[in-house]
Every structure is written in structure tokens, then in C-alpha cells.
């Protein structure tokens, strides 16, 4: 269990939630109040898994487990929160006294972050006294859901790029500061090479990458002078944005700057295309750069891309060396949610299940064995078939 925080605080990157206990839905507390009143105090196991995948998805990438453990390690209710809960007039004082002393004392079995998972396979299983295990449901789902959605989308983008570097560019349109930080972290976890987000880069030790904006180019009277100034400032890793005015003319000016840099012992790292017909433009830009003697200057493409766009460009033979991907990856535009649930599977030594149509659950504590021919979902006490396979859920 993480020990970096005193109980009561939950750190999410550089952000700190000072009162982790009230990061919950009201019904978690009303259920807990009845458990307390009725003496329902036995040990429970809850399983967190996805019922199904979004349309067009074949897998998930598990993420958020580190933050989930951090949250559990900081679980508590501050005196101030207990007072505010008392003012609601819904809870008995004995229950509130119990909450004030509540800490997570249970155990967690989980997969490693970055593990590929499929429906019904647990991300984690929590075993603890039922009040503890119940009140953490909302937070665990929130933490793991967002990061799994983001990592899963980023993995698809990385796969489509076929080994070409992908830079995460999406902070400005992420759904808030924390979501932006998590987008960068999850993109890196899923195989992206870098991020433009300085806060995320410094917080999570992710390589930083960036080029220039159109505002930079238009601040100069001449595009060529803008390129030259940038190359003087960053002679070893300048990437020039070509499409502020005319992309092909921008490419010719980039070739001039590349020659000037080479004469001074520097090297133009690359050029970026951010709009227009990226297939046709990348071919023309490549021809211009090669013709000027700079076949090693990379072409980076960006501008509203996702994995489908990248796959189409590469299938058509676009000479693009790297991609900058932002909004559609960072908000997982085509699949912004996944049906994650947190269900009671065992209480007080008794396996339990849900039978609602379309929402049935498997009973008991689970094991997931990864085998060449496919995953096996089993009860925790069952061995892997033929003694083979990797056990994904670990303490």
C-alpha cells in the first residue's frame, strides 16, 4: 500500500484531494449506514471489470491502478467532513463516529498497469470489511475508468502508427487539468513517445516534445525570418511548421534553413504539416527536402488525427515519419466511456451473484490466466489449465 501520504489525502499527480473519504456517491454512505446499523460487518470481495467493450473495440489497456492504490492508502473522513455529513440529518452519530475512524484495512489483487484486458476480466479485486469495500466503489471506478479509456485509445493510435513515433498533443482540449495530466501519462503508458504537456512531462518523467504555433510564424514579418530565428534558438532540434501560408512554399523555405543550419554545424530536425491533404502534401514536401539534399529531415503530421486517419495515410504510402495526436485521442472521441462496474462477488465466505438480464456476474474471487490460445477466467483457487499460463491478478 502506498505510504507517501497521511490518511485523508489523495494525490493525483501534482493535485491533492485533501479529504479522500467524501470522493464518493451518497448511496455508498447510505448503504454503509445500514450495514453499520444492522451489524453487517463481514468480509466482502468486490470485483472491478468491464461488462462489454464499446463498438469497434477489441481490447482495453488497464490503467489507473497506481492512483487507485494511492486513494485506498489515503482513505479517511476528516472531522470537517463528518460535521458536514451530520448537518445533512441523514446519518446517526454512531455511524459518523465509525466513519471518522475508518481506514482501508483490506487487500487488493490487481493486474499491472498496461495489461491488455477483455470483458469480464477483473482489473482488480478488493477484499475488506464490507463498509470499507463499499464506500470506495465510486472513486475506484472513476480513477480506473478515465485512465483505461485514455490508455486504450492511445494504444490504438500507437498501433496504427506502425512503429513511427507518436507525440501526445492534447492538453489544451482535455476535460480539465487532471484529465490532461492523465491523458499524457496514459498515452506514454500505451506507447506514445512524448508529450507537449510540460506539467505532465515533469510530473511523470515523460519526454517533452513541441514545435511551434501559427501565432509564432505570423508574429514575424516574413515566414523565412521566423524559421531562421527558431533555428538560431534551437539549432539541433528545430521542427518548422509549414502550413501557416502555403505549405509547399514553406517547405522550400525550410530547405533553405536546413542548408544554413548545416553550414553552421547544426541540423534541421523536422517539419510539421497541420492541415490540408496530408497524403499529397507529405509527398511534395518529401520531394522538396530530398531534392535539396535533406532526406534525413523528418515529416511530422498533426491536425485532428486519430488511428483511422493514420492507418489510411500509411496504407496509401504517405512518407510521414511521426505523428502529433491530440483531441481525438485525449478525449477518446469515438468511445469516451466503457461499461466498467464494481460488483460484490463474495460476502462472509458466501459467493454471490447478480442475475439481472444483460448484467449477470460471475461469482467468487477470480483468477485470470493468460495463455497462447486465449485467456482463462477461473476461480481464485483454481490452477491454470495444464499448469500453464501467466496469472494476471497479483497482490
Quote the number of domains for the chain.
2
Q: What is the pLDDT of residue 366?
A: 92
Domain end residue (candidates: 330, 351, 366): 330
Q: Name the nearest CA neighbour of 167 among 4, 301, 313, 357.
A: 301
Range of the domain at 290: 153-330
What count of residues does the chain have? 395
Provide the pLDDT for residue 355. 73
The cell numbers describing 174, all together, are: 482535455
Residue that is last in its domain, among 330, 354, 371: 330
The verdict on residue 255 lying in a domain is: yes
Report if residue 5 sits inside a domain.
no
Question: Residue 225 corresponds to which cell in the numbers above?
Answer: 525570418
> Hey, how many other C-beta atoms are within 10 angstroms of the C-beta on 278?
26
Give the model's confidence band at 5: pLDDT under 50 very low, under 70 low, under 90 confident, else very high: very low
Provide CB contacts within 8 A for 177, sequence distance 6+.
15, 199
Pair 141, 163 in one domain? no
Closest C-alpha among 251, 35, 204, 229 to residue 135: 35
Does residue 360 have a pLDDT over 80?
A: no
Strands (E), 85-149: 107-110, 116-117, 124-129
pLDDT at position 11: 62
Contact assessment for residue 237 and residue 194, using Cβ atoms and an 8 Å cutoff = no
Q: In which element (H, E) is residue 261 found?
A: helix 247-263
* CA dist list (Å): 333 to 21, 79, 118: 31, 41, 20
Same domain, 191 and 326: yes
Residue 8 has pLDDT above 80, yes or no: no
Asked if 186 contacts 63 with a C-beta cutoff of 8 angstroms, the reply is yes
Residues 128 and 180 in one domain: no
pLDDT at 10: 59
pLDDT recorded at residue 2: 40
Distance between CA 90 and CA 181 in Å, rounded? 37
d(CA 257, CA 295): 14
Query: Where does the pLDDT of residue 384 fall: very low under 50, low under 70, confident under 90, or very high at 90 and above?
Result: confident
Asked whether residue 317 is assigned to any structural domain, the reply reads yes
In the predicted structure, residue 112 carries a pLDDT above the cut 70: yes
pLDDT band for 207, please (50, 70, 90 cuts): very high
What's the confidence (pLDDT) of residue 15? Answer: 55
Domain membership flag for residue 181: yes
Which pLDDT value is given to residue 247?
98
**CB count, 10 Å around CB of 389?**
20
Task: Mark residue 58 as left, alpha or beta (left: phi above 0; alpha: psi -120 to 50; beta: remaining).
Answer: alpha
Do the beta carbons of residue 335 and residue 54 sit within 8 Å?
A: yes
The answer to whether residue 13 scores a pLDDT higher than 80 is: no
Instruction: Report the CATH number that the domain containing residue 184 is assigned in CATH.
Output: 3.20.20.70
The reported pLDDT for the residue numbered 116 is 98
Residue 4 included in any domain: no
Mean pLDDT (the chain) is 93
Instruction: For residue 137, give the C-alpha cell.
Output: 466503489
pLDDT for the residue numbered 4? 41
Cα of 133 vs its chain's centroid, Å: 25
Which of 330, 347, 363 terminates a domain? The answer is 330
- Is residue 282 located within the same domain as residue 365? no
Confidence of residue 3 (pLDDT cuts 50, 70, 90): very low
Identify whether residues 46 and 62 lie together within a single domain.
yes
**Are both 309 and 226 inside the same structural domain?**
yes
- Residue 49 neighbours by CB under 8 Å, 6+ apart: 119, 120, 121, 122, 123, 340, 341, 343
Q: Which of 8, 160, 166 is nearest to 73 (CA)?
A: 8
pLDDT of 171: 93
pLDDT given for residue 380 in this prediction: 87
User: Is residue 141 in a domain?
Assistant: yes
Cell numbers given for 88? 445533512
Q: What is the CATH number of the domain that holds 29?
A: 3.20.140.10
The string of pLDDT tens digits covering residues 270-291 is 999 999 999 999 999 999 999 9
Indicate the pLDDT class of residue 98, thresholds 50, 70 and 90: very high
* 307 and 186 housed in the same domain: yes
Cβ neighbours for 41, distance < 8 A, ≥ 6 positions apart: 35, 129, 130, 131
pLDDT of 211 higher than 80: yes
pLDDT tens track for 153-185: 999 999 999 999 999 999 999 999 899 999 999
Q: What b/e sequence results for 281-306 when a residue is b if at least 16 CB atoms lie within 10 Å of its CB, and e otherwise?
A: bbbebbebbeebebeebbbbbbbebb
This prediction has a pTM of 0.92
Summarised one tens digit per residue, pLDDT across range 23-46 is 999 999 999 999 999 999 999 999
Sheet hosting strand 366-370, strand order edge to edge: 376-379, 366-370, 390-391
Residues 16 and 163 in one domain: no
Residues 53 and 179 in one domain: no
pLDDT of residue 7: 53
Together in a domain, 178 and 125 = no
Q: Which pLDDT belongs to residue 19?
A: 80
The rounded distance, in Å, linking the Cα atoms of 359 and 158 is 32
Q: Residue 350, Cα to own-chain centre: how many angstroms?
A: 35
Q: Is residue 360 part of a domain?
A: yes
Question: 90 and 18 in one domain?
Answer: yes
Q: Does residue 291 sit within a domain?
A: yes
Percentage of the chain lying above the pLDDT 90 cut? 86
Whether 212 shows a pLDDT value over 90: the answer reads yes
Q: Same domain, yes or no, for 130 and 51?
A: yes
- Order of strands across the sheet with 107-110? 107-110, 124-129, 43-50, 340-347, 350-351
Amino acid at each position: 500500500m502506498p505510504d507517501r501520504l497521511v490518511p485523508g489525502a489523495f494525490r493525483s499527480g501534482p493535485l491533492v484531494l485533501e479529504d479522500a473519504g467524501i470522493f464518493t456517491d451518497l448511496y455508498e454512505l447510505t448503504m454503509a449506514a445500514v450495514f453499520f446499523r444492522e451489524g453487517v460487518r463481514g468480509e466482502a470481495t468486490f470485483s472491478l471489470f468491464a461488462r462489454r467493450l464499446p463498438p469497434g473495440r477489441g481490447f482495453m489497456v488497464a490503467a489507473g491502478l497506481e492512483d487507485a492504490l494511492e486513494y485506498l492508502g489515503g482513505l479517511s473522513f476528516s472531522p470537517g467532513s463528518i460535521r458536514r455529513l451530520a448537518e445533512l440529518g441523514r446519518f446517526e452519530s454512531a455511524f459518523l463516529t465509525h466513519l471518522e475512524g475508518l481506514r482501508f484495512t483490506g487487500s487488493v489483487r490487481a493486474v499491472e498497469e498496461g495489461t491488455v484486458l477483455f470483458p469480464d476480466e477483473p482489473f482488480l479485486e478488493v477484499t475488506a470489511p464490507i463498509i470499507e469495500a463499499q464506500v470506495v466503489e465510486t472513486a475506484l471506478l472513476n480513477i480506473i475508468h478515465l485512465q483505461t479509456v485514455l490508455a486504450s485509445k492511445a494504444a490504438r493510435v500507437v498501433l496504427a502508427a506502425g512503429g513511427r513515433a507518436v507525440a501526445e498533443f492534447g492538453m489544451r482540449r482535455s476535460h480539465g487539468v487532471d484529465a490532461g495530466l492523465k491523458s499524457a501519462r496514459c498515452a506514454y503508458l500505451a506507447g506514445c513517445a512524448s508529450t507537449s504537456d510540460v506539467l505532465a512531462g515533469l510530473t511523470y518523467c515523460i519526454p517533452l516534445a513541441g514545435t511551434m504555433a501559427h501565432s509564432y510564424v505570423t508574429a514575424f514579418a516574413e515566414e523565412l525570418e521566423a524559421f531562421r530565428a527558431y533555428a538560431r534558438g534551437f539549432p539541433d532540434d528545430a521542427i518548422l511548421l509549414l502550413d501557416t501560408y502555403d505549405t509547399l512554399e514553406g517547405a522550400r523555405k525550410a530547405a533553405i534553413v536546413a542548408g544554413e543550419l548545416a553550414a553552421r554545424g547544426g541540423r534541421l530536425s523536422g517539419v510539421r504539416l497541420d492541415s490540408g491533404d496530408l497524403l499529397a502534401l507529405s509527398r511534395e514536401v518529401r520531394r522538396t527536402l530530398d531534392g535539396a539534399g535533406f532526406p534525413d529531415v523528418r515529416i511530422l503530421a498533426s491536425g485532428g488525427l486519430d488511428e483511422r486517419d493514420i492507418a489510411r495515410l500509411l496504407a496509401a504510402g504517405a512518407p510521414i515519419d511521426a505523428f502529433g495526436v491530440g483531441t481525438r485521442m485525449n478525449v477518446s472521441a469515438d468511445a469516451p466511456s466503457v461499461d466498467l462496474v464494481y460488483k460484490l462477488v463474495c460476502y462472509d465466505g458466501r459467493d454471490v451473484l447478480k442475475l439481472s438480464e444483460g448484467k449477470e456476474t460471475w461469482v467468487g474471487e477470480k483468477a485470470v490466466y493468460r495463455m497462447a490460445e486465449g485467456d482463462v477466467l477461473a476461480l481464485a483457487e483454481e490452477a491454470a489449465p495444464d499448469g500453464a499460463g501467466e496469472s494476471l491478478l497479483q497482490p
